[in-house]
Amino acid sequence: MQIKAEPLTPEAFAPFGDVLDAAGDPDKIINAGMCGRYHDRAQLDFGAETGGRAGISIFKAEPRALPYLCDLLERHPEGSQAFLPMSADPFLVIVAPDADGKPGTPRAFLTNGAQGINLHRGTWHGVLTPLAAPGLFAVVDRIGESANLEEYPLDTPFTVIA
Protein backbone atom coordinates (compact mmCIF):
# COMPACT_ATOMS: atom_id res chain seq x y z
CA MET A 1 0.00 0.00 0.00
CA GLN A 2 1.13 3.55 -0.76
CA ILE A 3 -0.14 6.74 0.82
CA LYS A 4 0.63 10.24 -0.39
CA ALA A 5 1.87 12.73 2.18
CA GLU A 6 -0.33 15.80 2.34
CA PRO A 7 0.52 19.29 3.58
CA LEU A 8 0.11 19.69 7.33
CA THR A 9 -2.88 21.93 8.09
CA PRO A 10 -4.70 22.46 11.40
CA GLU A 11 -7.98 21.28 9.89
CA ALA A 12 -6.64 18.02 8.41
CA PHE A 13 -4.58 17.21 11.52
CA ALA A 14 -7.30 18.07 14.10
CA PRO A 15 -8.44 14.45 14.71
CA PHE A 16 -4.88 13.56 15.76
CA GLY A 17 -3.49 16.65 17.46
CA ASP A 18 -2.50 20.29 17.13
CA VAL A 19 -0.37 22.12 14.55
CA LEU A 20 2.08 24.47 16.22
CA ASP A 21 2.99 27.45 14.06
CA ALA A 22 2.83 31.22 13.87
CA ALA A 23 0.32 31.47 11.02
CA GLY A 24 -2.06 34.42 10.90
CA ASP A 25 -2.24 37.29 13.32
CA PRO A 26 -0.92 36.78 16.86
CA ASP A 27 -3.36 36.53 19.74
CA LYS A 28 -1.47 39.10 21.82
CA ILE A 29 1.26 41.66 21.31
CA ILE A 30 3.81 41.66 24.14
CA ASN A 31 7.31 42.94 24.97
CA ALA A 32 6.56 46.61 24.31
CA GLY A 33 5.05 45.78 20.90
CA MET A 34 8.08 43.80 19.69
CA CYS A 35 6.67 40.26 19.96
CA GLY A 36 3.54 38.50 18.80
CA ARG A 37 2.27 35.74 21.08
CA TYR A 38 0.36 32.85 19.53
CA HIS A 39 -1.30 31.81 22.75
CA ASP A 40 -2.12 28.35 24.12
CA ARG A 41 -1.87 26.43 20.83
CA ALA A 42 -1.77 22.84 22.12
CA GLN A 43 -3.96 20.58 24.23
CA LEU A 44 -1.18 19.34 26.50
CA ASP A 45 -2.06 16.33 28.65
CA PHE A 46 0.47 14.81 31.02
CA GLY A 47 -1.67 12.25 32.83
CA ALA A 48 -1.71 14.02 36.19
CA GLU A 49 -4.30 11.48 37.39
CA THR A 50 -1.64 8.74 37.03
CA GLY A 51 1.23 10.73 38.51
CA GLY A 52 2.54 12.19 35.27
CA ARG A 53 4.18 15.58 34.88
CA ALA A 54 5.40 17.72 31.99
CA GLY A 55 8.93 17.21 30.79
CA ILE A 56 11.09 18.59 27.99
CA SER A 57 13.54 16.22 26.32
CA ILE A 58 15.80 16.63 23.31
CA PHE A 59 15.61 14.00 20.57
CA LYS A 60 18.22 13.59 17.83
CA ALA A 61 16.92 11.31 15.07
CA GLU A 62 18.60 10.04 11.93
CA PRO A 63 17.21 11.69 8.79
CA ARG A 64 15.03 9.57 6.53
CA ALA A 65 13.96 10.04 2.89
CA LEU A 66 10.85 9.70 0.77
CA PRO A 67 9.62 7.25 -0.28
CA TYR A 68 9.53 6.03 3.31
CA LEU A 69 8.59 2.50 4.37
CA CYS A 70 6.56 2.52 7.60
CA ASP A 71 6.46 -0.77 9.51
CA LEU A 72 5.75 0.37 13.08
CA LEU A 73 3.22 2.66 14.74
CA GLU A 74 3.11 3.60 18.40
CA ARG A 75 0.99 5.57 20.83
CA HIS A 76 1.21 7.08 24.29
CA PRO A 77 -1.95 6.21 26.25
CA GLU A 78 -1.15 8.40 29.26
CA GLY A 79 -0.17 11.71 27.71
CA SER A 80 0.24 14.01 24.75
CA GLN A 81 3.55 14.44 22.93
CA ALA A 82 4.70 17.64 21.21
CA PHE A 83 7.55 17.78 18.68
CA LEU A 84 9.21 21.15 18.19
CA PRO A 85 11.92 21.07 15.51
CA MET A 86 15.13 22.89 16.38
CA SER A 87 15.95 23.54 12.71
CA ALA A 88 13.89 24.95 9.85
CA ASP A 89 13.50 21.66 7.98
CA PRO A 90 10.34 19.78 7.03
CA PHE A 91 9.62 16.46 8.71
CA LEU A 92 7.19 13.63 8.02
CA VAL A 93 4.29 12.94 10.38
CA ILE A 94 2.40 9.64 10.13
CA VAL A 95 -0.79 9.16 12.17
CA ALA A 96 -3.73 6.76 12.30
CA PRO A 97 -7.05 6.69 14.12
CA ASP A 98 -7.67 4.00 16.70
CA ALA A 99 -9.61 1.01 15.39
CA ASP A 100 -10.55 -1.15 18.38
CA GLY A 101 -7.14 -0.96 20.02
CA LYS A 102 -5.01 -1.07 16.89
CA PRO A 103 -4.12 1.50 14.22
CA GLY A 104 -6.72 2.28 11.59
CA THR A 105 -6.11 3.70 8.12
CA PRO A 106 -2.92 5.79 8.22
CA ARG A 107 -2.42 9.32 6.97
CA ALA A 108 0.84 11.14 6.33
CA PHE A 109 1.62 14.85 6.56
CA LEU A 110 4.64 16.94 5.58
CA THR A 111 5.44 19.96 7.70
CA ASN A 112 6.56 23.13 5.95
CA GLY A 113 9.75 23.67 7.95
CA ALA A 114 8.12 26.18 10.32
CA GLN A 115 5.66 23.88 12.09
CA GLY A 116 5.68 21.61 15.10
CA ILE A 117 2.98 19.21 16.21
CA ASN A 118 1.32 18.05 19.40
CA LEU A 119 -0.08 14.52 19.28
CA HIS A 120 -3.13 14.01 21.48
CA ARG A 121 -3.08 11.29 24.12
CA GLY A 122 -3.56 7.85 22.56
CA THR A 123 -2.94 8.90 18.93
CA TRP A 124 -1.26 6.19 16.85
CA HIS A 125 1.77 7.66 15.07
CA GLY A 126 4.94 6.76 13.23
CA VAL A 127 8.40 7.21 14.69
CA LEU A 128 10.12 10.59 14.54
CA THR A 129 10.94 11.07 10.86
CA PRO A 130 13.11 14.10 10.04
CA LEU A 131 13.88 14.52 6.35
CA ALA A 132 17.15 16.45 6.86
CA ALA A 133 19.99 16.59 9.35
CA PRO A 134 20.42 17.38 12.18
CA GLY A 135 17.03 15.82 13.12
CA LEU A 136 17.03 17.75 16.39
CA PHE A 137 13.73 18.25 18.26
CA ALA A 138 12.57 19.54 21.62
CA VAL A 139 9.88 17.13 22.81
CA VAL A 140 7.34 18.06 25.46
CA ASP A 141 5.67 14.98 26.89
CA ARG A 142 4.69 13.00 29.95
CA ILE A 143 7.29 11.98 32.50
CA GLY A 144 6.13 9.34 34.98
CA GLU A 145 6.65 5.87 36.40
CA SER A 146 3.85 4.01 34.59
CA ALA A 147 4.15 2.67 31.06
CA ASN A 148 3.24 5.22 28.40
CA LEU A 149 4.23 3.44 25.20
CA GLU A 150 2.38 0.91 23.06
CA GLU A 151 4.08 -0.27 19.87
CA TYR A 152 2.26 -1.94 16.99
CA PRO A 153 4.46 -3.66 14.38
CA LEU A 154 2.56 -3.66 11.09
CA ASP A 155 1.93 -7.03 9.42
CA THR A 156 1.76 -5.16 6.11
CA PRO A 157 4.08 -2.13 5.98
CA PHE A 158 3.10 0.80 3.77
CA THR A 159 5.10 3.33 1.78
CA VAL A 160 4.71 7.10 2.07
CA ILE A 161 5.39 9.07 -1.09
CA ALA A 162 5.65 12.80 -1.71
Predicted confidence at residue 158, as pLDDT, reads 98
Q: Is 20 exposed, middle or buried (0-12, 13-18, 19+ CB in 10 A)?
A: buried
Question: Radius of gyration (Cα) for the chain, nearest Å?
Answer: 16
Instruction: Tell me the C-alpha distance between 70 and 128, whole Å.
Output: 11
CB 18 within 8 A of CB 43: yes
Q: How far is CA 150 from CA 70, 77, 121, in A?
A: 16, 8, 12
116 pLDDT exceeds 90? yes
Instruction: Tell me the C-alpha distance between 109 and 22, whole Å.
Output: 18
- pLDDT classification of 157: cutoffs 50, 70, 90: very high
Q: How far is CA 58 from CA 11, 15, 25, 139, in A?
A: 28, 26, 29, 6
Give the SS3 label for residue 11: helix
111 pLDDT exceeds 90? yes
Q: Per DSSP, what are the bridge partners of residue 92? A: 110, 129
25 pLDDT exceeds 90? yes
Residues 33-81: tens digit of each pLDDT: 999 999 999 999 998 888 899 999 999 999 999 999 999 999 999 999 9
Instruction: Tell me the C-alpha distance between 67 and 3, whole Å.
Output: 10
Taking the model in full, what pTM does it have? 0.95
Predicted confidence at residue 104, as pLDDT, reads 98
Predicted confidence at residue 50, as pLDDT, reads 84
Residues 124-139: tens digit of each pLDDT: 999 999 999 999 999 9
Q: Per DSSP, what are the bridge partners of residue 93? A: 109
Predicted confidence at residue 54, as pLDDT, reads 95
Predicted confidence at residue 146, as pLDDT, reads 86
B/e letters for 67-89, b = 16+ CB within 10 Å, e = fewer, are: ebebeebbbbebbbbbbbbeeeb
Q: What is the DSSP letter of 46?
A: -
Predicted confidence at residue 42, as pLDDT, reads 97
**Mean pLDDT of all residues in the chain?**
97
CB 131 within 8 A of CB 89: yes
